[in-house]
Amino acid sequence: MSLRTPPLHARHDDRGAKFTEFGGWDMPVEFTSIREEHASVREHAGSFDVSHMGQIFVSGPDAVALTNRLTTNDVNTLSPGDAQYAAITDEDGVMLDDVVVYCLPESDEHDLLFVPNAGHDEQMVTRWERFRDQWELDATIENATADYGMVAVQGPDAPGIVADRAEPTGSPENTDGSVLDLSKFQATYADVEGVECWVARTGYTGEDGFELVFPADQAEAVWDSIVEDAEPCGLGARDTLRMEMGFLLSGQDFHPEDEPRTPYEARIGFTVKLDTKFVGHDALERQKADGVDQQFVGIVLEERGVPRHGYDLEMPDGEHVGHLTSGTMSPTLDEPIGLGYLDVEHAESGTELNVVIRDRPKTATVTYPPFLEDQ
């Protein structure tokens, strides 16, 4: 099967990017060095091509009702221009993906836009259609992933860099003429270099900034302008940045077959609104009452080495108590950090345990992300 390519693929190739397969897409993983790109986002600004993320429009009288019954959060609370983080769970409450749902302006031909992770778009469209039919709801689902590009501009200087180029169109009316008026998890249409973009104050790095969605055939105009001031960054830096914040990576920190986890185990219970009815509700209600056996934690390795996906966690006496799902050498802290699931009875912050690296136990301390202060 050939890989899907983002509309900016040729731009990245010209710049000498290294590419990697991710979720069925051929994406830039590194432009100069992960360490440099990471630092530019923490200290200044970086831009990421995230066109591998899906774009799915839901429209019609039951668009909100359908989406509310397929996501853990409460879509009913959204006003035009609002964004909401949510999990998609199966009947057992196990996460299939995590998404951001946007409520579009009344004037828009669509009602909702939601953004699943790379390679999940077709699965989500099928899911929405199947339940629409089963529940006899009136909604249209459109997979627009190939028609749109998406760029994240992140870092302390990112808001100014985007605001200098973006002129809100007044739809929806949640700005006073500048995208800087947007709060976290708010969005607006705006003109950027003559291109109509959906500009949202969201991100995956822990820094301030925006994510822009725009027609794929106009991607270059937007990208070329933004990278004049925000260094191009690849998926490598995106991964190290999100790990420092403890943000989940779909397919790695949770996966329906390889790492089946509920939102409570993954410590995103804030996305679960049990007063709404959704697939997985009853299982999650039970788990909330009973408590979880394992939960998502951070660890800092106290010895030399690098924590990685799949490494086991043991107590000093050798008892197996969990495993890591992500890990790296934190470029900001210059410390080895990991994320994973740990038995709750050992999950108190400050607990000393071992990470088993190539059959050798190495001392680590349990902590709760974010690993960085003052973000």
Partner 1 sequence: MTFDVPEDCYYLDSHEWYRPMDGKIGISDFAQDELGDVVFVELPAVGDHIEQDDEFGVVESIKAVSDLYAPVSGEVVAVNDDLESQPELVNEDPFGDGWLLEVEIDDDGELENLLDDEDYDAQIQ
Q: Tell me if 99 sits within 8 A of 86, measured CB to CB.
A: yes
Please state the closest distance from residue 300 (CB atom) to partner 1, in A.
Answer: 15
* CB nearer to partner 1: pick between 202 and 328: 328
Antiparallel, parallel or unpaired: β 46-49 and 231-233: parallel
Q: Which of 34, 94, 190, 364 binds partner 1 (CB under 8 A)?
A: 34
Q: Which of 156, 251, 260, 305 binds partner 1 (CB under 8 A)?
A: 305
Q: Which of 7, 81, 236, 369 binds partner 1 (CB under 8 A)?
A: 236
16 binds partner 1 (CB under 8 A): yes
Antiparallel, parallel or unpaired: β 335-343 and 320-330: antiparallel
* CB nearer to partner 1: pick between 24 and 305: 305
Q: Which of 15, 33, 91, 293 binds partner 1 (CB under 8 A)?
A: 33
Which parts of 343-362 interact with partner 1 (CB under 8 A)? 358
For residue 313, list its beta bridge partners.
322, 355
Please state the closest distance from residue 359 (CB atom) to partner 1, in A.
Answer: 12
* CB nearer to partner 1: pick between 44 and 308: 308
* CB nearer to partner 1: pick between 60 and 251: 251
Render the burial of 48-87: b for 16+ CB within 10 Å, e for the rest.
bbbbbbbbbbbbbebbbbbbbbbbbbbbeebebbbbbbbb
Integer angstrom CA distances of residue 218 from 9, 149, 196? 13, 8, 9
* CB nearer to partner 1: pick between 105 and 236: 236
28 binds partner 1 (CB under 8 A): no
Peptide bond into 172 cis (omega under 30): yes
* CB nearer to partner 1: pick between 73 and 332: 332
Q: Which of 35, 44, 288, 362 binds partner 1 (CB under 8 A)?
A: 35
**H-helix segments, the chain:** 9-14, 34-43, 63-68, 121-135, 158-163, 219-226, 235-245, 281-290
For residue 355, list its beta bridge partners.
313, 362
Burial (CB < 10 A; 0-12, 13-18, 19+), residue 97, is buried
39 binds partner 1 (CB under 8 A): no
244 binds partner 1 (CB under 8 A): no
240 binds partner 1 (CB under 8 A): yes
Please state the closest distance from residue 46 (CB atom) to partner 1, in A.
Answer: 15
Q: Tell me if 28 sits within 8 A of 236, measured CB to CB.
A: no
111 binds partner 1 (CB under 8 A): no
| Residue closest to 222 by CA, chosen among 213, 234, 231 | 213
* CB nearer to partner 1: pick between 16 and 316: 16
* CB nearer to partner 1: pick between 207 and 239: 239
DSSP string, 65-90: HHHHTTSSS-GGGPPTTBEEEEEEE-
Integer angstrom CA distances of residue 206 from 95, 154, 239? 22, 9, 12
Please state the closest distance from residue 116 (CB atom) to partner 1, in A.
Answer: 24
Please state the closest distance from residue 40 (CB atom) to partner 1, in A.
Answer: 14
Q: Tell me if 313 sits within 8 A of 296, measured CB to CB.
A: no
Q: Which of 28, 105, 246, 331 binds partner 1 (CB under 8 A)?
A: 331
Which parts of 309-328 interact with partner 1 (CB under 8 A)? 328
Q: How far apart are CA 124 and CA 114, in angstroms?
A: 10
30 binds partner 1 (CB under 8 A): yes
The residue type of 79 is S
* CB nearer to partner 1: pick between 110 and 308: 308
* CB nearer to partner 1: pick between 176 and 358: 358
Q: Give the number of other CB atoms < 10 A from CB of residue 3.
A: 14
Q: Which of 329, 344, 356, 372 binds partner 1 (CB under 8 A)?
A: 329
Stretch that binds partner 1, among 154-162, 172-180, 216-224, 301-309 (CB under 8 A): 301-309
List of residues contacting partner 1 (CB under 8 A): 16, 18, 29-30, 33-35, 236, 239-240, 304-306, 308, 328-329, 331, 336, 358
